[in-house]
Structure 1
């Protein structure tokens, strides 16, 4: 054997330390992945059990509330979201949520001697029910008072007249004339009720109380990413006001999501899909709430939270490229 192939042992002793480091890294990665997977399972069962328990509790609570025939007729005539619900059971649940929201909030008339009437309360409560319909146990608990002005009002926070606003102290404000005008055009992608209630939903998820942090953080991160991405593109669906900040982006996108959902899905499917997860409902599919948070599918949960199914599909395509004869053999 040639002498140049005989490497003295001391020349490769340093590899032993590197080997231990490499094996340690592999072991650490496996343990970390295992811990992460265990926590994902805990998260799945937490969402499953808590969502079911909260939903059952709210169903019992909702059964105590009912809308009058007059208010139901008002919704049927004037509120498209209610009219498009695919089953009577969903309509009943929505109506009960409107009734409950109306009863637990304080409505205060501003700049007028007249009180907030039944029609006003029903419409405002309906918008609150719409944005929370995918979350049966959410009633925007932090926001206890609804102020209603007869027309645009001069905000104490600024130097402009406002149509509506939401503040972190627990108040939602509307100019009734502007809100009522939404009844005449419910498909233009601009809606004051949806806009302000989406602000309330976003803040409700952030402010610590009995309801907060109900939207998985993944989707909040994705919303910020979508805001950064969309602000770099030419816009046709979202008006310029959306790009002031991520909160306004969410509110403006929500208006389009609920009023022009088919167009949004056709042109920006990823944004539409993200909003279905934030609202936990898919109006185009008549899915309230989404199956993912009913706790019925671990696969769907892992797919949504970690993209497991997406990576599985990429791996399958890679295998098909390596072995074209097997293409199309997988089950669907």
Structure 2
């Protein structure tokens, strides 16, 4: 019975990471947007319908169809997004301690102890929170000596930072896809799959390797490492009696939802940690607003078939609050 974890932006939010609406507001203050009426208008156009990613999707299409007019704007916008990641990652790197407990701490309630319990971790986040605080600072062999020797990103080679004091930091170096793409780790290594790439991933030519904006499915299909990660995601979800905990994912990516829908038909069970809890699918259904003709959605069906519980509390409340909520979450592993 594999225990799997899927993370979205709401996970990093527990340590101050930005949600999509906050990224929208960040981008309004960047040099690229302040200096371009076109980019500013494009952002505001999509404020309530997809936010900055929808704006980027339209910009990508405009640059494809009218490169002379829009290619420079696309490059400026994408550069601004990378600067945003740089600022957010800088904050994560400065975190002295990412455990959410106030002293005295219980070792069994630390974030590393919790993450260590999963057979595989999948994340849509492109920030470097996990790289710095889980891959770099935690010795998994001490947490579970009979299970893991460590954790790694399958199919990628790590190239360390040249800065002497940061040589071991998995967040400060670069990750490059292997030429042979061996995504099958040793059974003693916990796999972490970043399904949309990451802000410190690079292609061999030095260009960034992360998927943003529209047409993610097409972009993933032409990026071998991400296509193999997507395949691994579907494989894990489809294993007999698989259980998936979802933290901070807003169910806005069609290719992820499709994989979940197919796996639920095969028996996948889901535990959700989100402020909206089991009502999330209903809240995302626009036909359930006043005055609309109500139509059920595939996501509502997924929730009804697969949910085996949930928590509306933040991770801080779960790990440093009432033992009642903590026990409910940990029942997932029983």
TM-score by length of 1: 0.27
Q: Which structure is higher in strand share?
A: 2
Alignment TM-score, normalising by the size of structure 2: 0.26
Higher radius of gyration, 1 or 2: 1
Higher-helix-fraction structure: 1
Highest RCO, 1 vs 2 (Cα 8 Å, sep ≥ 6) = 2
